[in-house]
Each structure stands twice: as structure tokens, then as C-alpha cells.
Amino acid sequence: MNELLNKRIVLGLSGGIACYKAAELCRALVKAGAQVQVVMTQAATQFITPVTMQALSNQPVFESQWDERAPNNMAHINLTRQADLILVAPASADFMAKLLHGRADDLLSLMCLARPTASTQLVLAPAMNREMWSHPATQRNVEQLRSDGAHVLGVGAGEQACGETGDGRMLEPLEILQDVISLLTPKDLVGQQILLTAGPTFEALDPVRGLTNRSSGKMGYALAQSAHQRGAQVLLVSGPTHLTPPRGVRVIQVESALQMHQAVMAHVNESDVFIACAAVADWRATKPAEHKLKKNDQQSPPIFELMPNPDILADVCKSEKALRGQLFCVGFAAETENLEQNAKIKLNRKGAQVILGNLAQNTLGRDDNTLLWVDANGSFEMPNNTKAALASEVMRLIAQRLR
């Protein structure tokens, strides 16, 4: 993961039990390529030690506005001038109230007030008891902070450290990470409606067994997430996977190729881009058994009559909107040999603008991939990388083509 490569993030911790999540969040930000500088309030040090955060960020932790390590004794200025983003996680009710009124009596609040607003975004991840979160004063503060230009994230729901249950939990670290990536990603797909398919399909032979494949859905989900991060409105039609739906993406869950075809065709006319990433079964049983087929040593194995499934990509490329040139169509070619040759054949046969080829044996179920971009102008390889990084590059290229 290098989505945050060369980004400078100040991670601020105010007081709250959710500070324990800040350790994992810091690790995730670093893993994504960011340079992380941790700043803690005195209250935060009651919940997690600066030593822990220093070890995870590989940077000295700042706690006081009087820190003499700053040559000019102005850490609140020095630490913000090169930062791309200040992320306060957790942001307590008290800390948000302080920001609302422009109070600045510690290093973290000083930094938030002194940051150059044109170049350094402020992101707050609230964390508090459910009653504190729902209190009218807190909700007024949240709305005013947003009006003042801060990005106040939502909260999670569930069990809280106090023993109560409800809204107010800080979002999980990976959820916050995705929101940070979104904020720092160029918005070159704003106004675009993108329709994607992902994952395998399952074609029932009986109520238990079926025809499917080893697709994990990771590439399609990464594309959906990247498209959302770039500002697009995204609808993902997903076959059965164990993946968590991407944040901010609308998902329609389906099982069979027929269901996927129906869902896709129902939304083609409202889309500007269609990406067929799903590994759709080519055939289905003509007559699936009504009950589970039992093994009987005295009988021969059952014989299934198969019929072809609809070709989703081809049908989309033949749709009225596509034929008018108003729909950009991208397909995937999962091959085991002759990748470029087969991808070019598929490009011509389907009528898509782009085919992304990959070798199935090198990608199914994995977190990395190597892609071959094929269009009417030729082809080029996208070298092995994480699927998230490749998805970002694919969406950048699509945005470029749309312009």
C-alpha cells in the first residue's frame, strides 16, 4: 500500500479510551506510505504512552507547546507548515468544543488553530459516550466545525468502554485510513457515475452444490474504493465474497450470473463508466435439482446439462447508451496463456474501450496483481503491485480518458 506515499500527516490524540485505536491507526498510516508526526495532549498520555506512539511512527512525539526541541520554540508553527493533513483521533467532546471557540491552550489545539487552511486539512474522528455524542451542544459543535472547514468524520455504534451501547465509538482505524486517503486523493472523477461488477458468481446444481470459481473480488472492490476516493458516485454489483463493502460505495449483492446481468442492465442508463471485473460463470445448469443430490454407490454420477449465461460486458457494450458513445466500457480478461493475444481478441469481440488482462494463476485470491492495459492504440503492462495501487492507477487512466 502506497496510497499516502510522500504525504505528511500530523496525528493528534486527545484524551479518551479510544487512544488505544490510535496505535493501530498510526501503523496503518505508516504502512500506506505516510510520514506521521504524533502530537498528544496530556490527557491522551493517561491512556497510551508516548513511547508506544514514537515506536510506531518512528518520530519523536510532541506533547507540549513549550517543547525546547523546536529551535524557535514554535512547534505549533513548525509542525503544521509542511503537513498535508492534521488528523485528531480520538477527538473528544471537550477538544471539539475548544476548537469551536478558537481556544488554544495546548500544543494540539494551537496547531489546529495555526494551521495554514489553504494547504493543511483538519480531520476530526470523534470518540465519546453515546449521551455526550447525542447531546445538542455536541451536535451544534460538530455542525459549526464542519461549516468552519473541518472534516468531522462519523462515529461507530456498539458497546462502549463505560458499559453502555450506542453511537459515539471512534471509527475503526482502517475506516479512518480510507477516509484520509479519500481526502488526499485528486478528485478527477467528480460527477461521474461508475458501475462495477466484482467477485465470482455461483450457479446452483442443487440447493448445496454449484459451479463457481476462485475469484476473491479484491480487484473489483479496490477499483470501487478508488473510484469513490476520486469523487465518483459508485455502484458495485458483487457476487458472493467475504470482503467488507468499500466505504461510501453502494453495493448490490447477487449470487448468479443471471442476477448480476439483471442488476447491471437495470443501471446502465444512469452510468457513465462500466467496469466488468467480476469472474462470471460462462454456463449454468439447465435444470438445477430441487433437492440435494445424494451419492449412491449403485448409481452413476449425475450428468448435468449446461446452457450459456448471458454475456454481461457484451450486452452493456451493445446498449443504446454505449452505442451513442456515452458509456465508457472496461472489461477484464483472466487468462492462463497468450495473455495479450486473448485480451486483444476480447477487446474486438466485446466492443469495449479497454480490456485489462491478467494471468489467473498469478492473481486469484492474492493481494497483488500484474495488469496488461489493452485498447485500440495498443497495449502496455502495469507492473506487479498491490491491487489497491493498481486500482488507483487504472482509475487515474480512466479519468484521463474521460477528459
Enumerate the active-site residues.
162
Question: Nearest-CA neighbor of 276 among 240, 316, 227, 232?
Answer: 316
Distance of CA 282 to the CA centre of its chain: 29
Cα–Cα distance between 238 and 258 in angstroms, integer? 13
- Cα→Cα distances 96→104, 140, 176, 223, 334, Å: 11, 11, 18, 34, 50
Hey, what's the cell of 219? 480487484
CA–CA separation, 269 and 81 (whole Å)? 46
Residue 161 φ/ψ, nearest 5 degrees = -60, -30
For the chain, the first-to-last Cα distance in angstroms comes to: 27
Cell representation of residue 45: 498520555
* Ranges assigned E (strand) in 69-192: 85-91, 121-126, 151-152, 156-159, 165-169
Closest CA to 109 of 138, 133, 80: 80
The label of the residue with cell 501503523 reads 27
Type of residue found at 190: V
**What amino acid is encoded at 32 in this protein?**
A
Cβ contact 351:317 at 8 Å: yes
List, as one string, the DSSP characters of 216-266: -SHHHHHHHHHHHHTT-EEEEEE-S-SPPPPTT-EEEE--SHHHHHHHHHT
Using a 10 angstrom Cβ sphere, with 0-12 exposed, 13-18 middle and 19 or more buried, the burial of residue 204 is middle
